């Protein structure tokens, strides 16, 4: 009893040490930028992940007690509900709560790591592993201060699930049946995409049972109660089924019905569509296509956003290893240690789903690396303890363990020191949205690229057409069209898109927006319909105001934005890509300006050298802000026969080389040149960072 008490005290001490260390490392970024004004708004740090503004919007509306119909506010989502709870009962500002939640919640991952290690009678392994896992490269990146997203518990919860499974199989105590099922319910509540990992755990337990312990009835009880928790349906119904099955399994007289209950649970899982979400995720990340067909009878083709999302792209082995362990050497040793750990403790085979999902990152995108972090951390920690125990004296054992632990921690510490990511928006950009909030109604729309959708909704409290949750190809096509086509065509598409979106809410109609437009205007060919936007067509009745949000930062992604509307919707074939080149690191060598990538501007004859070719330019434009804040635009025509234009944005120290199509786009004309058609647009807010215009039609 005394030994158990000492073990429990040591467990708590190790948890406290590891948790404090993890939290402290996340305050490095806070210390680095505590006095940096662009990262603060209204005296508080801003968050540094776009999706965080989605959950923040939901929490804000929960606290306010209301929201607008069809505004997309996630008032029933777990992150928003938990945030609202903390914000209501903790003595801190709302912005402070959302900024620091990732710091304190993500660090909880050390608890299941140490508890699992306690099961293996190796608490020192747990301490070393938790120190590494808490700050490992990719885990830190997705749970640092300000990274307010579901990731703050996305590893914590499956690690607790792994702990409960290990304890259930190790002890065969009925209480762990309930704990495991409740773990699944909480995990699903927090992160609905947890299906795949849950099913992997289920399959591994089934395999383990059939190979090692097929006559043990407890394992089948565990499988059955897990299956009820994993069903695709209402959480309260699943909770009731879990409780009922737990009560039955706790009474030995029902043991003869265990296999019947297991069969019922599997049947219930299948008929509720439990497999569908898993296949959807696999298809989305592993079988990506650049063009997808819309869900329309016309079979329209749209460019898919998955091709432009960095976290879903392929990564190098070095990046893969670094993100999991800090460097390649640590990763390789960790993998060896993990294999040895499973060999010595076969119960650790249940961690394979986490490792497997982490390794999917090598082909399916870097976001998955975090799943392998805690398990491989346990692998290298196990080796460190094993090596230390071979030392001849206690002093050498302690010294070797500390030395090796520091060696695996240092690469990750250096990464944290250098990982100076910015906030989503800077203070000037947020001030624009805060001012816009005062000028708009909650039913108004602000049109901007989907990357900015959540922050726009949070700060301006308006509606948007696309955001981080709604950015399918058919959603992005009209917005891309609005931003990259001439002003007259853009305003028509904007009014059409907004009004048709509202009609969809009212009438609960299906199909893409473009398809419904084509049907109402009597077209079977999307190209013919789009041509009519160059003419005077009758537009839907105006029901609300529309604003166009044009930030300077969109210059960096302008070519990506064009991809979504620069294709034939009928065939899916991409059209000729417009020319766009941006240079900020140029060098003025007197007779010419070198812009990089083999491109230079010849001052004497106003031509461009592109590789080995010399081409004339159509016009040279220089923009500069005057003392009164107004933009001055100087334009000089060089050759009307040429297609390329050179724009020097002097205040931004930026050169743009664009073709005539890009030059005439709404974004270039309204943001870069402030050359707007006063019959179509009205200036609302104009700053060097962001420019907002209001549609007049």
Residue-by-residue DSSP string for 169-185: HHH--THHHHHHHHHHH
What digits encode the pLDDT tens for the residues 595-649?
999 999 999 899 999 888 999 999 999 999 999 999 999 999 999 999 999 999 9
Q: What is the mean pLDDT of residues 194-212?
A: 92
Strands 619-625 and 644-649: parallel
pTM of the model: 0.91
pLDDT category, 492, cuts 50, 70, 90? very high
pLDDT in tens, 390-429: 999 999 999 999 999 999 999 999 999 999 999 999 999 9
DSSP per residue over 591-616, as a string?
SEEEEETTEEEETTTTEEEETTEEEE
H/E run at residue 694: strand 690-695
Question: Under CATH, to which class is 425-584+617-697 assigned?
Answer: alpha beta
Give dist(CA 56, CA 52) in Å, integer: 6
Give the mean model confidence (pLDDT) for residues 439-454: 96
Average pLDDT, the chain: 93
Residue 178 CA to chain centroid, in angstroms? 32
How confident is residue 290, by pLDDT bands cut at 50, 70 and 90? low
Q: Is the pLDDT of residue 283 over 60?
A: no
Q: What is the mean pLDDT of residues 51-55?
A: 97
Overall average pLDDT of the 203-232 stretch: 94
Please choose, from the candidates 635, 642, 697, 637, the residue with its C-alpha nearest in 3D space to the C-alpha of residue 668.
Answer: 635
Average pLDDT on 34-39 reads 96
Is 80 exceeded by the pLDDT of residue 127? yes
Quickly state the pLDDT bin for 233 (edges 50, 70, 90): confident
pLDDT (average), residues 435-439: 97
Kindly give, in sequence order, each residue whose CB lies less than 8 Å from that of residue 392, ignoring residues fewer than 6 positions away.
none
Average pLDDT over residues 562-573: 93
Q: What local confidence, expressed as pLDDT, does residue 67 receive?
A: 86
pLDDT digits (tens, 9 = 90+) for 655-680: 999 999 999 999 999 999 999 999 99
Question: Is the CB of residue 668 less than 8 Å from the CB of residue 562?
Answer: no
**Rg, Å, the chain Cα set:** 29
| Reported confidence tier of residue 157, pLDDT bands at 50, 70, 90 | very high
Cα–Cα distance for residue pair 201/294, rounded to 1 Å: 35
Residue with tokens 């549609």: 695
Other beta carbons within 10 angstroms of residue 68's beta carbon come to 14
As a whole number of angstroms, the distance between CA 190 and CA 179 comes to 16
The continuous run of DSSP H or E covering 285 comes out as helix 276-286
> How many Å apart are CA 146 and CA 160, to the nearest integer?
24
Return the pLDDT at 593: 95
Question: pLDDT > 70: what percent of the chain?
Answer: 95
pLDDT of residue 537: 93
Specify the pLDDT at position 219. Answer: 96
pLDDT of residue 282: 57
For the chain, domain boundaries? 2-418, 425-584+617-697
Which whole number is the average pLDDT over 344-369?
Answer: 91
């Amino acid at each position: 009893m005394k030994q158990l008490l000492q073990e429990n005290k040591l467990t708590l001490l190790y948890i406290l040490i590891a948790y404090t260390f993890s939290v402290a490392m996340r305050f490095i970024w806070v210390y680095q930028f505590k006095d940096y004004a662009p990262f603060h708004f209204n005296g508080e740090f801003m968050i540094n992940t776009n999706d965080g503004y989605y959950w923040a919007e939901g929490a804000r509306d929960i606290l306010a007690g209301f929201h607008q119909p069809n505004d997309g506010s996630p008032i029933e989502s777990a992150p928003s509900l938990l945030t609202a709870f903390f914000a209501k009962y903790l003595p801190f500002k709302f912005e402070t709560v959302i900024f620091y939640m990732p710091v304190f919640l993500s660090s909880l991952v050390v608890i299941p790591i140490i508890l699992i290690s306690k099961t293996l009678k190796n608490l020192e392994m747990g301490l070393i592993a938790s120190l590494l896992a808490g700050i490992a490269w990719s885990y830190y990146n997705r749970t640092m201060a300000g990274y307010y997203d579901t990731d703050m518990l996305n590893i914590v919860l499956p690690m607790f699930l792994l702990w409960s499974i290990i304890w259930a199989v190790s002890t065969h105590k009925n209480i762990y049946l309930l704990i495991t099922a409740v773990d699944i319910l909480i995990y699903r509540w927090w992160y609905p995409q947890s299906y795949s990992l849950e099913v992997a755990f289920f399959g591994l337990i089934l395999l383990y049972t059939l190979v090692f312990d097929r006559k043990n009835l407890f394992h089948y009880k565990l499988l059955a109660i897990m299956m009820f928790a994993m069903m695709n349906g209402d959480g309260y119904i699943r909770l009731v089924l879990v409780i009922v099955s737990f009560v039955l399994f706790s009474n030995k007289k029902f043991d003869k019905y265990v296999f019947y209950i297991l069969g019922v649970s599997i049947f219930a899982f299948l008929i509720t569509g439990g497999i569908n979400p898993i296949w959807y995720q696999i298809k989305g990340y592993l079988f990506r296509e650049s063009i997808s067909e819309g869900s329309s009878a016309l079979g329209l083709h749209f460019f898919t956003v998955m091709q432009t999302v960095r976290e879903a792209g392929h990564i190098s082995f070095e990046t893969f290893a670094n993100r999991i362990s800090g460097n390649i050497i640590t990763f390789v040793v960790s993998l060896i240690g993990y294999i040895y750990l499973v060999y010595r403790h076969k119960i650790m085979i249940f961690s394979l789903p986490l490792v497997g999902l982490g390794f999917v990152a090598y082909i399916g995108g870097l976001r998955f690396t975090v799943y392998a972090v805690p398990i491989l951390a346990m692998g290298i920690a196990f080796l460190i303890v094993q090596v230390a125990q071979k030392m001849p004296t206690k002093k050498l054992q302690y010294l070797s363990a500390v030395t090796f632990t520091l060696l695996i921690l240092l690469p990750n510490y250096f990464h944290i020191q250098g990982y100076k990511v910015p906030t989503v928006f800077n203070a000037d950009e947020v001030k624009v949205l805060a001012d816009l909030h005062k000028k708009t109604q909650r039913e108004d729309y602000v049109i901007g690229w989907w990357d900015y959708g959540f922050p726009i909704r949070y700060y301006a409290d308006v509606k948007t057409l696309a955001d981080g949750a709604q950015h399918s190809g058919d959603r992005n096509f009209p917005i891309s069209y609005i931003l990259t086509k001439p002003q007259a065509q853009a305003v028509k598409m904007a009014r059409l898109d907004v009004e048709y979106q509202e009609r969809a809410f009212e009438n609960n109609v299906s199909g893409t927006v473009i398809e419904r437009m084509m049907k109402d205007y009597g077209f079977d060919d999307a190209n013919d319909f789009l041509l009519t936007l160059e003419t005077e067509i009758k537009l839907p009745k105006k029901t609300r105001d529309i604003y166009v949000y044009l930030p300077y930062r969109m210059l960096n992604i302008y070519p990506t934005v064009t991809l979504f509307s620069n294709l034939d919707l009928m065939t899916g074939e991409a059209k000729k890509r417009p020319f766009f080149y941006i240079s900020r690191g140029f060098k003025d060598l007197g007779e010419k300006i070198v812009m990089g990538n083999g491109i230079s501007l010849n001052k004497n004859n106003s031509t461009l050298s592109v590789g080995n070719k010399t081409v004339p330019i159509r016009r040279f434009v220089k923009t500069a802000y005057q003392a009164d804040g107004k933009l001055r635009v100087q334009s000089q025509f060089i050759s009307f026969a040429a297609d390329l234009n050179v724009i020097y944005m002097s205040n931004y120290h930026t050169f743009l080389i664009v073709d005539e199509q890009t030059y005439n786009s709404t974004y270039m004309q309204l943001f870069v040149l402030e050359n707007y058609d006063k019959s179509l647009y009205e200036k609302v807010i104009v700053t060097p960072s962001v420019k907002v215009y209001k549609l007049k039609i």
